[in-house]
Amino acid sequence: MNELLEWLKQTDNLRIIDEELDVELEIPHIAYVEVKKPKSQVLLFTKPVNKKRGITYDIPVIMNLFANFEVTKHILSKDPDEVAAEIEKLLHMKPPGGFMDKLSMLPRLFKLKNVFPKKLSKKGECQEVVYRGEEVDLDRLPILTTWSEDGGPFITMGQVYTTSLDGQMQNLGMYRLQQYDKRHLGMHWQIHKDSSHFFDQYKDAGKKMPVSVAIGGDPTYIWCGQAPLPYGIFELLLYGFMKNKNPQLVKSLTNDIYIPKDVDIVIEGEVDPSQMRIEGPFGDHTGYYTLEEPYPFMKVTAITMKKKPIYQATVVGKPPLEDKYMGWATERIFLPLLKTTAPELIDYAMPENGVFHNLILAKMKPHYRGHAKQFMHAFWGVGQMSFVKHAIFVDEKAPELEDYEKITDYILNRLDPKRILISEGVVDALDHSSPESLEGGKLGIDCTGEEVERRDYELISDEQLLQAMRTIDSDIVDLCQYKVGTSNPVTFISINKTRPVKELVADLSGLKKHLKVLIVVDASKNHLDTPYMLVWRVANNIDAKRDIALEPFISVDATNKGKLEGFDRRWPGDVECDPEVLERLRERGLLEIDEEFKRTFLL
């Protein structure tokens, strides 16, 4: 960490803030705004306090460690595409045919010996300071409360280390951890996570589950913790592969879990599978609050740390945030592994404003009719890809997937209702829009092949179309047309909803000669001239099976759902900054934002 800090200073990627700032809202709000800037910096807060509880911490807080592409590459030691190329070579390695072939393989094979973690018999620097028994107190740590409606303070960048019941498998995961009091942490283990599988083993056996949570050290640890590796593969193997050196592990003091020797802080404990506790709400990376649910919790048995630790944290909410850069690295590095299931896959992208698992763009080389639909089913059946809600496929002639203007044109010029697949399957535990938790609609769009003709369409101005619509329904507030030069122009309308959107769409059928794709959002908290955030809203707010209709034109209901639609689940609120905190920070010269910035990113 000290080496990283020095490099960050030299490259103007570090901003040190020496003013006293509150761990409740103030520090997270500064980090939230910073990472939305075009060239964001890593932030080091040297004087964290908790004003409400009268605590002054002697541990600094570092945030936005994955601040931009340059910093992310440096943390990972190389460009993610280089790592992907190395993985692809290994996947296609063939038995050597002769002596020279064997010699040429040696460098790769020698590198693999550095993949495996090395367990040390001595203590690590993470155990220089030890608190046990009555000395255990989570209030020693500057744990942040990020959002006004959060259920309490949460550890947001904890490396959670667990083992299977038989001790044969280890796991490193990244889960939010709610602090309940001085000695208890919530474990937000979603059902598809490896730690949740291990938890089930301990529960069936009636045994308590050991857990160690590490904070800090090499930031690559935390990136490995969120990597979508297959079940049973210890994530630190990826660390060894990328860094070309063995991860050095030491045993926790009060359980048998091994953790990296150079992390800053370790929280050791155990989980009683027979006990649960309400966790949340929590403003999550979807940009919405995750609602309260029962989850396991850990009783802390020891806290160890370096003599001069740094507390590592992140902030989650509406994009863009640092998970944009973490997700970019994951996306590039795991492309070769995804190709093993879908060989004709050329590339893919998961835009951060599609919240990653809610939207995927994929480029493929189709060989026959229906090939793209086959890919859709393959994606929805592969590991964490099974949680992707909306998948759009283009062919090898398409522009670069990250060129969003051009790729959008390419898609809209090939969009055909006959090539749209609406299915259903498993969805992420954080998804709020589907009628049932963990299960919902899936959307697949085949935009491979030739352009479609724009038939039976007449373009009129936004003002004319809005006036025509308002004569039909006065609840319509605003209208904006996008991509009018393509085969399928997109019309957004915002409404003050007083009836189901399906009824509105039916009444607008008389205007179908002016409509190809109609997307409906709530007038509240949406601006039709901010397409980046509109994509975020739509990707989050729809269940394809309920909210998409293909006649009389393609329509998408991206409004919040409730009693009008017979939606029985509680719809969560948007994650939003506290305006008083923002203003206070601005007056102190710690934030530089204007009304346009707040409007653009829906602060």
Q: If we measure between CA atoms, which residue out of 177, 146, 186 comes closest to residue 314? A: 146
Q: Are 304 and 141 in contact (CB under 8 A)?
A: no
- Give a yes or no: residue 232 inside a domain: yes
Judge contact between 449 and 366, C-beta under 8 A.
yes
Q: Point out the catalytic residue in the list 262, 284, 395, 547.
A: 284
Task: Please state the separation of Cα 234 from the chain's center in Å.
Answer: 21
Q: What is the domain-level CATH number for residue 145?
A: 2.30.110.10
Residue 102 shares a structural domain with residue 115: no
Q: Is residue 419 part of a domain?
A: yes
Helices (H), ranges, 136-245: 194-205, 220-225, 236-243
DSSP 8-state code for residue 179: B
Q: Is the dihedral of CA 591, 593, 594, 595 positive or negative?
A: negative
Here the CATH number for the domain that contains residue 544 is 3.40.1670.10
Each residue's pLDDT tens digit, 40-59: 999 999 999 999 999 999 99
Rounded mean pLDDT for each run of 10 residues along the chain, 603 residues in total: 94 98 98 95 98 97 97 93 83 54 48 83 97 96 98 97 93 95 93 79 96 97 89 88 92 97 97 96 95 95 98 97 94 88 91 92 94 89 85 97 97 97 92 93 96 94 98 97 97 98 97 98 97 97 97 97 94 96 96 93 93
Does residue 336 sit in the same domain as residue 474?
A: no
Half-sphere exposure of 19 (CA within 13 A, CB side): 11
Question: What is the distance between the alpha carbons of residues 532 and 529, in angstroms, rounded to a whole number?
Answer: 9
For residue 454, being part of any structural domain is answered with no
What number of CA atoms fall less than 13 Å from residue 439's CA on the CB side?
A: 3
Domain boundary, last residue among 388, 412, 446: 446
Specify whether 385 is located in the same domain as 291: no
Question: Is 484 in the same domain as 549?
Answer: yes
Q: Give residue 113's pLDDT.
A: 73
Within this chain, do residues 140 and 279 fall inside the same structural domain, yes or no?
A: yes
**Residue 44 belongs to a domain:** no
Give the three-state DSSP class for 350. Answer: coil
Indicate left, alpha or beta for 48 from its phi (over 0: left) and psi (-120 to 50: alpha).
beta
261 & 166 share domain: yes
For residues 48 and 19, the answer to whether their CB atoms sit within 8 Å is no
pLDDT reported for residue 108: 53
Q: What pLDDT is recorded for position 111?
A: 60
Residue 73 maps to a domain: no
Mark residue 449 as left, alpha or beta (left: phi above 0; alpha: psi -120 to 50; beta: remaining). Answer: left
CA distance 364 to 449: 11
Torsion of CA 363, 367, 370, 374, to 10 degrees: -60
Say if 18 falls within a structural domain: no
**Are 225 and 352 in a shared domain?**
no
Which of 313, 341, 362 is the last residue before a domain boundary? 313
Handedness of CA 521, 523, 525, 529 (dihedral sign): positive
Domain extent for 130: 111-313
Longest dimension (CA), the chain: 81
Which residues are 300's β-sheet partners?
269
How many domains does the chain contain in total?
Answer: 4
Q: Do 93 and 198 belong to one domain?
A: no
- Residue 197 gets the label, from left (phi > 0), alpha (psi -120 to 50) or beta, of alpha
For residue 488, tell me if it sits in a domain: yes
Tokens 């800037």 label which residue? 37
Transcribe 21-45 into DSSP letters.
Answer: EETBTHHHHHHHHHTTSTT--EEEE
Neighbours of 38 (CB within 10 A): 5
Are 290 and 142 within one domain? Answer: yes
Q: What pLDDT is stored for residue 230 in this prediction?
A: 79
Q: How far is CA 160 from the centre of its chain?
A: 17
Q: Could you tell me if 300 and 333 lie in one domain?
A: no
pLDDT (0 to 100) of residue 241 = 87
Is residue 45, in this structure, part of any structural domain at all? Answer: no
The whole-angstrom distance between residue 37's C-alpha and the CA centroid of its chain comes to 19
Here the tokens at position 215 are 């904070």
420 lies in the same domain as 467:
no
Torsion over CA: 180, 185, 190, 196 (sign): negative
Q: Is residue 573 exposed (0-12), middle (13-18) or buried (19+ Cβ within 10 Å)?
A: middle
Active site residue 284: yes
Of the three residues 285, 313, 341, the one that is the final residue of a domain is: 313
Q: Give residue 201's pLDDT.
A: 94
Q: Are residues 436 and 543 in the same domain?
A: no
Task: Give the whole-angstrom CA distance, residue 322 versus residue 36.
Answer: 9
3-state helix, strand, coil in the chain (%, to 5): 30, 25, 45
